[in-house]
Amino acid sequence: MKSAVALLCLAAMAFAAPQLDERPVAILRDERVDQGDGNFNYAFAADNGIEMEVSGAPGAEGAVSMRGYYLLPLIDGGFARVEFVADEGGFQPISDILPTPHPMPAHALEQIRIAEQQRAEGIQFDIQGRRVN
């Protein structure tokens, strides 16, 4: 009985799984340039809309600095463009589809301004929050 239930659950999961598009994808563009000195460029595009372009150069301390974009497929069938920089500062994507933090409330901005003003005036506080000078 338990094995029959497990088998039915597996069959239901297989039936509910998204069906992948099995058609072949044609490559429309595939350009690669490696100058041998750490500088490179590549561009890729397929007939299904996927696209990417990247250029890179030697960065600080042996790292590689890259800049480019890729098109990310969306559920509605469209594509979102994600531009990026990847360097010693890490991977930094830029796109309208990325979440953004809420703006800081006015009272928090006011507290930050007051703290900066106190630092500029040399005012210090101890660990318990009492002013020491």
DSSP 104-121: PPHHHHHHHHHHHHHHHT
Share of the chain above pLDDT 90, in %: 49
Question: What letter represents residue 34's amino acid?
Answer: D
Same domain, 89 and 32: yes
Given a contact cutoff of 8 angstroms between Cβ atoms, the answer to whether 79 and 49 are in contact is yes
What letter represents residue 55's amino acid? S
Model confidence over 95-123: pLDDT tens digits?
Answer: 988 888 889 999 999 999 999 999 999 99
| Domain range enclosing 127 | 101-133
Count of domains forming the chain: 2
Q: Are 34 and 77 within one domain?
A: yes
pTM > 0.85: yes or no: no
Looking at 17-87, list the stretches that DSSP marks H as alpha helix, in order from N- to C-terminal side: none
**Encoding tokens for residue 9?**
């659950």
Same domain, 50 and 69: yes
